[in-house]
Structure 1
Amino acid sequence: MENAVYWKGRQVGIECAGRILWFTSAPPEAVVAYGTQRSEPVSVEQSMLARNLVTTASYR
């Protein structure tokens, strides 16, 4: 299950399986506050996950 990571009222990443995938727009202070670091570039698989989380259902 994925969970949104918020910093000062703004979503800055996604937590999944104990790892936080930081958005590129996440401020460094948020990364430091959560006690993690940006360790590796986001892979295609991870970006697809992030994109799918914000997809809304179409209504007819």
Structure 2
Amino acid sequence: MECNGIIELEGREVPFIIIRSENAQNYRLEVGIDRELRIIAPEGGNKDIEALVSEKKDWVLEKLNK
């Protein structure tokens, strides 16, 4: 199951996709070469995605600016 959305980080709109995985045990963030944020989440996970991305915003913005 995949969900698309946009999150705002320091005034910048960042598109993201949530990828639910049966194999994932933890949440993982990736920034692809297409500048899309991918959030890999455990199948039954219910963590607040917006809070997770906000917590890691410095890392995300650094990767987007490369």
Provide TM-score, normalisation by structure 2.
Answer: 0.29
Q: Which has the higher contact order (CA 8 A, sep 6+)?
A: 2
